[in-house]
Amino acid sequence: MGITRGFVGAVGNTPLIRLEHLSERTGCEILGKAEFMNPGGSVKDRAALGILLAAEASGELKAGGTVVEGTAGNTGIGLAHLCNARGYRCVIVIPETQSAEKIDLLRSLGAEVRTVPAVPYRDPNNYVKLSGRIAEEIPGAVWANQFDNRANRQAHADTTGPEIWQQCEGRLDGWVAATGTGGTYAGVALYLKQQSEAVRCVLADPHGSALHSWASTGELASEGSSVTEGIGNSRITANLEGAPVDEAIRIDDQTAIDVLYDLLWHEGLFLGGSVGINVAAAVELARRLGPGHRIVTVLCDGGDRYRSRIWNKEWLQSRGLRQPERQQLGSVA
């Protein structure tokens, strides 16, 4: 890897990890892009960097300026790191329902954190809309607008997609990822389809999100709910618009939790909630395609940001979920 230039230079070029246990069980090679190894701890470091570099290049973001964003946590964490590194003030608007670990970390990083009630996007006080209004009120501020700022997906089309293609040496059958902003899924899917139309691009979705319905029927409709954070949506963002979606797979929370614990016990990987959705969907795609295929998904972030939630037995039980036990691993996949 050599010597990098600060935080910015350390973003990207993450390993592709073969998930041995699930690959053996499915007969497919299931690979996870290790985005938890980015310097800010998540895949969102890429989007945050892409958005900041675009704002600097356009002249919108000037020295000593302010960056404002509405986030479920990880994009805000990436922005807070980058604002420290590049001399900007960082203001983060986050739903109060997000994990205490992420909110506390944002404050530790020096961001000005404003927690707000979690309300649907149609509500004018939704955290995304509120962050846009706050940016308008602060002189010299830039609204990162990760959901509809296509610098987000472009960052993945420029970096994540090419890295995956090169690491796979051009042999890849499926790309699977959940989406909140649409940036990671869409940017990678657009790039991979340019390389080979044969790559199957599959959108993974939790219950409570309308994207599975949209991808399957063309209509935005949702049912149920999910404990996962930062993924799923009730609308089509500018980043997701026009992205190739060959099919969608919906994953329930218990399946995602079972997969997360399987990854810890068999792979030694301690990961966040959306990873459970991603990897479970990759396993389902492997079942649909049959043995002998290569499937890539994204390992978005680490489990430390969710210790009080998905890694806590009492919290899971309070949500009607069961904490897996080691002797139950045979039921996974």
CA dihedral 128, 183, 91, 116 (to 10 degrees): 30
> CB neighbours of 7 closer than 8 A, spacing ≥ 6?
39, 40, 81, 82, 84, 85
Catalytic residue among 44, 62, 102, 313: 44
Establish how many alpha carbons lie within 13 A of residue 133's alpha carbon, considering only the half-sphere containing its beta carbon: 7
Contact 95, 67 (CB under 8 A): no
316: left (phi over 0), alpha (psi -120 to 50) or beta: alpha
Closest CA to 158 of 17, 54, 284: 54
Q: What is the DSSP letter of 224?
A: S
pLDDT score recorded for residue 332:
52
Alpha carbon separation from 267 to 30, 43, 183, 259, 277 (Å, rounded): 12, 20, 27, 11, 17
Contact 88, 58 (CB under 8 A): no
Q: What are the chain's domains?
A: 6-38+160-325 (3.40.50.1100), 44-143 (3.40.50.1100)
193 given a catalytic annotation:
no
pLDDT score recorded for residue 330:
53
pLDDT score recorded for residue 245:
98
* Average pLDDT by stretches of 10, the chain with 333 residues: 90 98 97 98 98 98 97 94 97 94 96 95 94 96 97 98 98 98 98 98 97 96 93 96 98 98 97 97 98 98 96 97 78 51
pTM: 0.95
Look-up of token digits 């993945």: 156
CA angle 83, 48, 133 (to 5 degrees): 80
Establish how many alpha carbons lie within 13 A of residue 292's alpha carbon, considering only the half-sphere containing its beta carbon: 1
Q: Are strands 66-70 and 89-95 parallel, antiparallel or unpaired?
A: parallel
